[in-house]
Amino acid sequence: MKIAVVGTGYVGLVTGTCLAETGNHVTCVDINVKKVEAMKNGQLPIYEPGLELLFHRNIKQDRLFFTSDLAAAIEDAKIIFLALPTPPGADGAADLSYVLGAGADIAKLLKEYKVIVTKSTVPVGTADKLTAVLKANTDVEFAVVSNPEFLREGVAVDDFMKPDRVVVGTTDERARKLMGELYGPYVRQGNPIIFMDERSSELTKYAANSFLATKISFMNEIANLCELVGADVDMVRKGIGSDDRIGKRFLFSGIGYGGSCFPKDVQALAKASEENNYDFKILNAVMDVNTIQKSVLVEKVKNYFKGDLKGKKFALWGLAFKPETDDIREAPALYIIDDLLKAGATVAAFDPEGMKNVKELLGDTISYGDNQYDVLKDADALLIVTEWSVFRTPDLDQVGSLLRNKVIFDGRNLYDLQKMIDCGFYYNSIGRKIVS
């Protein structure tokens, strides 16, 4: 099938590449001419495990194309995906100007029936707004479909190729058939394509992400309580997660959720509720808990050093908001760095993929290591911020000899408590006993 994808950000690129992988002819459009040229030359602008292989293969086999020419891209396409940014506006609501603007441009180019799909996370009612914009600019028939993405960074290719479910919001029969054909190869194992109306589909995305964020904030509160009552959150997690109704996944307490989706989507859903005169109490609590949780690690540090961090040096392992990505949007690391610098401390950080982005943002307000041991030299303590695999089994003798004090604050609960005692560390993690 001929497909166009408008917008080559993270979602657009993963969508376009993975749609080409099952034999579709996919043209990706972006207004950024330089970026388009680079992609034509085989340069992938994002880091996502597994994507590069598919990207090169599909370019080479003439199934994946890039252009800045919207008209050429959509000419033969039966389905046009919109994967455009929807940044939060000043009032917290998603800014739809890119999506609606693209809708107007596409409408003026329409010559025959096409399906226009919103892939970006958009507020409930966007399909209707987009339909109105298109109708105002064309007499040609079309359908607007909501098809939210559920891609996790780091495993996005797998999530796209083998989704737990595909949600398609449309009340148009022709669109339903085309979307069913397109996604058929991705749900061969029997996972469902769930068809519903546009508004339910739009809300499904927000509900999914907000529910997951709620699970995380709930566990972060359990962790805080564990510390007060002397319980171990890892045990509690295992104890409740083995109940199928609760499930084992997404129960890890830590230093708050970050990334490009959860913070934005929870806020947007709270905002949408407010606009509909509904006080969504749980969501407000989820956001409050997350804000507090981003500061717990530095609070622990401050308590240990009796409030005086001036002139102290801290080593940070991890900057990206989670492992296997270079994404630092809403990363807890940024809040931690800010708190430490404000308290007069210095920071030396290492992250396998995230340092380039942090350097662009913070420059040399902190220093960076070539590897994880580099940053430890003469540091007063090590803070573990992102749970990259490479941090899971470090050479603890080396860690201990490089640090000025054998002190670790672990925001991701990577190490066994007994091991830390055996190795002679002061070790303060989340929702577990402090050992030394």
For the annotated binding site, the residues are: 30, 35, 86, 121, 150-153, 205, 250-254, 258, 264, 322, 329
Asked if residue 12 binds ligand UDX (CB under 6 A), the reply is: no
Helices 198-229, 126-137: crossing angle, 10 deg rounding: 150
Site for ligand UDX in 242-261 (CB under 6 A): 250-252, 254, 257-259, 261
Helices 281-293, 262-275: crossing angle, 10 deg rounding: 150
What is the biggest distance separating any 2 CA atoms in the chain, rounded to whole angstroms? 75
Catalytic status, residue 261: yes
Question: Of 170 and 413, which CB lies nearer to ligand UDX in the complex structure?
Answer: 413
Q: How many residues bind ligand UDX (CB under 6 A)?
A: 19
Q: Which of 150, 183, 280, 304 binds ligand UDX (CB under 6 A)?
A: 150
Q: At closest approach, how far in Å is the CB of 154 from ligand UDX?
A: 7
Question: Of 134 and 269, which CB lies nearer to ligand UDX in the complex structure?
Answer: 269
Question: Of 65 and 257, which CB lies nearer to ligand UDX in the complex structure?
Answer: 257
Mapping DSSP to helix (H, G, I), strand (E, B) and coil, where does residue 363 land? helix
Q: At closest approach, how far in Å is the CB of 210 from ligand UDX?
A: 11
Question: Of 21 and 265, which CB lies nearer to ligand UDX in the complex structure?
Answer: 265
Site for ligand UDX in 153-172 (CB under 6 A): 153
Per annotation, catalytic residue among 18, 28, 226, 261: 261
Radius of gyration of the chain from its Cα atoms, rounded to whole angstroms: 24
Site for ligand UDX in 342-371 (CB under 6 A): none
**Contact code string over 302-321 relative to ligand UDX, x by CB under 6 A:** -------------------x
- Written as six digits, the tokens of 271 are 């905002």
Site for ligand UDX in 94-123 (CB under 6 A): none
Residue 43, number of CB atoms within 10 A of its CB:
11
Q: At closest approach, how far in Å is the CB of 32 from ligand UDX?
A: 23
- Written as six digits, the tokens of 19 are 């749609």
How do beta strands 381-384 and 2-6 pair? unpaired
- Written as six digits, the tokens of 352 are 């396998």
Rounded Cα distance between 171 and 311, Å, is: 63
Question: Of 116 and 328, which CB lies nearer to ligand UDX in the complex structure?
Answer: 328
Q: At closest approach, how far in Å is the CB of 89 from ligand UDX?
A: 20
Q: Quickly list DSSP for 417-430.
A: HHHHHHTT-EEE-S
Mapping DSSP to helix (H, G, I), strand (E, B) and coil, where does residue 349 land? strand
Q: At closest approach, how far in Å is the CB of 256 from ligand UDX?
A: 7
Rounded alpha-carbon distances, angstroms, from residue 8 to 39, 69, 88, 168, 363: 10, 13, 19, 21, 27
**Contact code string over 321-340 relative to ligand UDX, x by CB under 6 A:** xx------------------
Q: Quickly list DSSP for 231-288.
A: --HHHHHHHHHTSTTT-STT---SS---SSSHHHHHHHHHHHHHHTT---HHHHHHHH
What are residue 281's phi and psi, to 5 degrees?
-60, -40
Q: Pick out the residues of the known binding site for NAD(+).
A: 30, 35, 86, 121, 153, 264, 329
Query: Can you name the residues that pair with 139 across neighbouring β-strands?
Result: none
Rounded Cα distance between 250 and 262, Å, is: 13
Rounded Cα distance between 71 and 368, Å, is: 45
Q: At closest approach, how far in Å is the CB of 216 from ligand UDX?
A: 4
**Contact code string over 167-206 relative to ligand UDX, x by CB under 6 A:** ----------------------------------------
Q: Which of 151, 182, 296, 334 binds ligand UDX (CB under 6 A)?
A: 151
Q: Which residue is nearest to ligand UDX (CB)?
A: 261
Of 179-187, 208-216, 417-425, 428-436, the segment contacting ligand UDX by CB under 6 A is: 208-216
Residues in touch with ligand UDX (CB under 6 A): 149-153, 209, 212, 216, 250-252, 254, 257-259, 261-262, 321-322
Catalytically active residues are 261
